[in-house]
Amino acid sequence: MAPALHDELAAAALAALLDCAREGYAPLLANAELARFVRPRECLYLYSDAASFDSARPALDLRQKLGVAFEVLDGAAIRALEPALAPIFERGVLFSNSWHFSNPQGFLQTLYEQLAAQGLKLERSTVDAVQPGTDHASLTVSGVTRRFDHVVVATGARSAQFAGQCGDPVPLDTERGYHVRFRGAQHLVSRPVGWAERGFYMTPMSDGLRVAGTVELAGFGDTRNRSLLDLLTFSSKRALPALDTPDSNWLGFRPTLPDGVPVLARSRASARVIYAFGHQHLGLTLAGVSGRIVADLIAQRAPPLDLAPYAATRF
Ligand X SMILES: Cc1cc2nc3c(=O)[nH]c(=O)nc-3n(C[C@H](O)[C@H](O)[C@H](O)COP(=O)(O)OP(=O)(O)OC[C@H]3O[C@@H](n4cnc5c(N)ncnc54)[C@H](O)[C@@H]3O)c2cc1C
Beta bridge partners of 254: 175
Q: Is 205 exposed, middle or buried (0-12, 13-18, 19+ CB in 10 A)?
A: buried
SS3 state of residue 53: helix
Among 24, 92, 132, 177, binds ligand X (CB under 6 A): 177
Q: Which is nearer to ligand X, 87 or 171 (CB)?
A: 171
Residue 56 in the binding site for ligand X (CB under 6 A): no
Residue 165 in the binding site for ligand X (CB under 6 A): no
Residue 179 in the binding site for ligand X (CB under 6 A): yes
Residue 268 in the binding site for ligand X (CB under 6 A): no
Residue 253: count other Cβ atoms within 10 Å of its Cβ: 16
Among 178, 182, 195, 310, binds ligand X (CB under 6 A): 178
Among 22, 36, 150, 158, binds ligand X (CB under 6 A): 158
Q: Which is nearer to ligand X, 130 or 269 (CB)?
A: 130
CA dist., res. 305 & res. 156, Å (int): 22
91-130 positions binding ligand X, by CB under 6 A: 126-127
Residue 254 in the binding site for ligand X (CB under 6 A): yes
Map residues 234-253 to x or -, x wherever contact with ligand X holds by CB under 6 A: ------------------xx
Residue 292 in the binding site for ligand X (CB under 6 A): no
Options 37-45, 150-158, 180-188, 306-314: segment touching ligand X (CB under 6 A): 150-158
Q: How far is the CB of 135 from ligand X (least distance, A)?
A: 23
CA dist., res. 204 & res. 309, Å (int): 34
Residue 285 in the binding site for ligand X (CB under 6 A): yes
Residue 284 in the binding site for ligand X (CB under 6 A): yes
Helix %, strand %, coil % for the chain, to 5? 35, 25, 35
CA dist., res. 296 & res. 278, Å (int): 19
Options 30-38, 68-76, 151-159, 182-190: segment touching ligand X (CB under 6 A): 151-159
Contacts of 57 (CB under 8 A, 6+ apart): none
Q: Which is nearer to ligand X, 135 or 226 (CB)?
A: 226
CA dist., res. 227 & res. 62, Å (int): 33
Residue 41 in the binding site for ligand X (CB under 6 A): no
DSSP strands (E only) in the chain: 38-40, 43-47, 70-74, 91-95, 99-101, 129-132, 137-141, 144-148, 151-153, 173-183, 193-195, 200-204, 208-216, 248-256, 263-266, 273-277
Among 78, 151, 153, 154, binds ligand X (CB under 6 A): 154
Q: Which helix (H) or strand (E) covers residue 9, if one does?
A: helix 5-19
Can you give the binding site for ligand X, defined by CB under 6 A? 126-127, 154-158, 177-179, 212, 252-255, 277, 279-285
